[in-house]
Structure 1
Amino acid sequence: MKLGLQLGYWGSEPPADGNVKLAQEAEALGFDSVWTAESWGNDVFTPLAWIGAHTTRIKLGTALAQLSARTPTACAMSALAIDRLSGGRMILGLGVSGPQVVEGWYGQPFDKPLARTREYVDIVRQVLRREGPVSNPGPHYPLPYTGPGALGVGKPLKANTHPLRADLPIYLGAEGPKNVAQTAAIADGWLPIYYNPFRPDIYADQLKDAKPGFEIAPLVMVNIHDNLQKALLPQKMALAFYVGGMGAKEHNFHKNLMGRMGYEAEAEKIQELFMAGRREEAVMAVPDPFADEISLCGPKERIKERLQVWRDSPATTLLVMGTGGAQMLRDMAEITL
């Protein structure tokens, strides 16, 4: 079992020192990777490059780079550059985000997310392989572009900077069954936001075609505290926000996933309360068993015992985040590594 540090995205201000000390601590403890994220504030690549410049060994991952934030070739350029500068430590994690962000922030259509993902990944791989000029017939990312407004002089191009690795790993964030199945077919790894090692049957059929070496790196909230109820509270707050309000009422992938995990009625209630402005009640409506199954919370000895379920699952890396700062990293390294 490998450990990764998920730093997430910034709030209203950047974290102190850009999370450099925390990433350096993770590297010194033997963590395998460190990951950044983006929503509608900081971008995902700049903090990662900053951290990469202050570390030497730890792998550098994006979880997630949003597809609509940049074209496939622009994304490949960023991944290529960080991989070269870091000496081959880059992992490119991609995700479609949701319609509220894609259409409201990026001004892009959200239709056909699976088809868009397939095209996107294929173009990125073309750039990294550098076997010839990059081209794509579309319909989502046509290269060269010949649609409205085109001058008709575009031509396929090949990256003038040679990528360090043609096989730079690409992971995908996916929640829906079809999206997870496609991830197993076209990507090198999967980044689930919620993973339930106690119910592996939820994913078994979707992952049956994964190739050997396929990585599964779930996000895992860690909160070490002697009182389990208090330890679960940060996870419940996060779930209330994502299940209740991160997405439109009819298009919330997190809520749908919670339903598929056996908590459909509870997910409906959380969304109802959250959208009514009753956010504290929404937090309390999150079932303790669900929050507990997808996280590692409670006393250190309890976490050590429950880690065995994760070890026995298909998960290969735990991307940990939560309260406790460097001490949490030291405790997890002691327990896990």
Structure 2
Amino acid sequence: MRLGLALGYWGRGPDPGQLVLVREAERLGYDSVWTAEAWGSDAFTPLTWIAAHTSRIRLGTAVAQMAARSPTATAMHALTLDHLSGGRVLLGLGLSGPQVVEGWYGRPFPKSPLTATREYVDVVRQVLARRGPVTLDGRFHPLPYGGGDGTGLGKPLKSLTHPLRTRLPVLLGAEGPRNIAQTTRIADGWLPLYWSPTRTDAYEAALGAGSGLRPGFMVAPLVRATVCADVAEGLLPVKGMLGFYVGGMGHSGRNFHADLMGRMGYEEEARRVQELFLAGRREEAVLAVPDAFADEISLVGPRERIAERLDAWRKGPVTDLLVLARDPETLRVLAELNT
């Protein structure tokens, strides 16, 4: 199981300690570093800065939001950074949700998200393969554009720039069972938001457990890790993240994160967190997140406890553990335990 460092997205501004953390992760042998985007900082620019200050560690987006840019623009970002970094890019993509897509990007959330994702990946693959002009008779991403409000003058184009790698890895952030199942067919990897090594049966049907995943397919969940003496205190940031995602990253009637928590056995608790958060009682919402759920999707506590729990992560289909940590000591302990 490889280790990756997950940096997430910026809050009010950049963290001046992140580059130090990335360099330490590279020194410790971490395989990859990952950035994200919500409605502030973007995912690609920080990776470009990191690429200029590192030499080996792979550079992933977890995730670049599809609504933020057309599939050809995303492919251009990935192609360009792949050249500048010497072939280190891992392109992680995600749909986000209706509130962000329509509220921030001003675009309709696709009524057929699986089709929209499939078309997006198809176009990205075509650009990077550079076998010919990019065309798609698609519902969401048609190329050339043929809508009635256009000029009708668009022509199929092929990338001027030759890609460094025609098979640059594409991973998808998927939460619903059908979306996960499609991911195993069309992508090179899956980026689970929450992963519980004790509930792998929750994913077996979508992952096709009977036939197994194809060789090289990445399963790369995010896990918040903290080496500390007090487990309850160490879980508070995990509960804070869950309170925000489950409570506030979606509408009361459509919140993919709350739905996922429900499928993992905490449906009643997820709805309670949502109710409190949407009522403006955010601190109560965070405290309402069950310690048991926060604990099973994270690695928190003394070194010995983390060592024992890490074995469960290794026994499942996880190929890459993307560690959300803010201190070099935690990164070092995980590197030592994972050898």
TM-score, normalised via structure 2 length: 0.97
Task: Classify the secondary structure of the residue corresponding to 1:205.
Answer: helix
Shift, 1:79, TM fit: 0.2
Partner of 1:232: 235
Q: Shift of residue 190 of structure 1?
A: 0.3
For residues 122-170 of structure 1, the C-alpha deviation after alignment (integer angstroms, 9 at most, x for no partner) is: 0000011111100011111111112133222211011110001111000
Matched, 1:291 2:290: no
Paired AA for residue 224 in structure 1: V
Q: Distance in 2 between matches of 1:107 and 1:334?
A: 46
Q: CA separation in 2, counterparts of 1:136 and 1:301? A: 53
User: Aligned AA for 1:331?
Assistant: V
What SS does the corresponding residue of 1:172 show, helix, strand or coil? strand
Between the aligned partners of 2:257 and 2:148, the Cα distance in structure 1 is 36
User: Contact between 1:134 and 1:158, CA under 8 Å: does it hold in 2?
Assistant: yes
**Are the aligned partners of 2:65 and 2:95 in contact in 1 as well (CA < 8 Å)?**
yes
1:60 partnered with 2:91: no
How far is 1:280 from its partner? 1.7
User: 2:21: which partner in 1?
Assistant: 22
User: 2:262, 2:270 within 8 Å by CA — same for their partners in 1?
Assistant: yes
Matched residues, percent identical? 62
Q: Indicate the residue corresponding to 1:181 in structure 2.
A: 181
1:202 paired to 2:202: yes
Aligned Cα root-mean-square deviation (Å): 1.0
Alignment of 1:106-185 (within 5 A): 106-110=105-109, 111-185=111-185
Aligned-partner residue type, residue 241 of structure 1: F
Which of 299, 304, 308 is equivalent to 1:301? 304
In the alignment, is the contact (CA less than 8 A) between 1:258 and 1:267 conserved in 2?
A: yes
What residue is the counterpart of 1:335 in the other structure? 337
One-letter amino acid of the structure 1 residue matched with residue 332 of structure 2:
R
**Shift in Å, 1:113:** 1.3
1:193 deviation in Å? 0.6
Alpha-carbon deviation of 1:94?
0.1
What amino acid is the match of 2:257? Answer: H
Q: Report SS of the residue matched to 2:333.
A: helix
CA distance in 2 between counterparts of 1:49 and 1:247 reads: 30
Is 1:38 aligned with 2:37?
yes
1:87 alignment counterpart: 86
**Any idea what the Cα deviations from partners look like across 1:145-201, whole Å, max 9, x if unmatched?**
121332222110111100011110000000011111111111000000101110111
Give the TM-score of the pair, scaled to structure 1: 0.97
Query: How far apart in 1 are the matches of 2:15 and 2:296?
Result: 29
| Of 313, 317, 328, the match for 1:314 | 317
Deviation at 1:322, TM superposition (A): 3.0
Match of 2:270 in 1: 267
Q: In the alignment, is the contact (CA less than 8 A) between 2:34 and 2:60 conserved in 1?
A: yes
Amino acid in structure 1 at the alignment position of 2:95: V
Asked if 1 retains the 8 angstrom alpha-carbon contact of 2:325 and 2:331, the reply is no
- In structure 2, give the amino acid aligned to 1:215: M
Please list the CA deviations of residues 225-282 of structure 1 after superposition, one character each: whole Å capped at 9, or x if unmatched.
1111111111111111111111111111110000000110111111111111222211
What letter corresponds to residue 238 of structure 1 in structure 2? M
Query: What is the deviation of 1:13?
Result: 1.1
Whether the 8 Å contact between 2:5 and 2:325 is mirrored in structure 1 is no
Does the 8 Å contact 1:62/1:92 carry over to 2? yes
Following the alignment from structure 1 to structure 2, what is the Cα–Cα distance between the partners of residues 322 and 273? 28
Deviation track 1:261-317 (CA, whole Å, cap 9, x = no partner) reads 011011111111111122221112111111111000111110000000001011111
Q: Give the deviation of 1:318 after TM superposition.
A: 0.7
Matched pairs, number:
335
1-structure distance, mates of 2:101, 2:188 = 24
Counterpart CA distance in 2 for 1:298 and 1:50 is 32
CA contact under 8 A between 2:227 and 2:329: conserved in structure 1? no
CA distance in 2, matches of 1:328, 1:49: 25
**What one-letter code is carried by the residue in structure 1 that aligns with 2:329?**
Q
Whole-angstrom CA distance in 2 between matches of 1:283 and 1:336: 31
Q: What runs of 5+ residues in structure 1 fail to find an aligned partner?
A: none
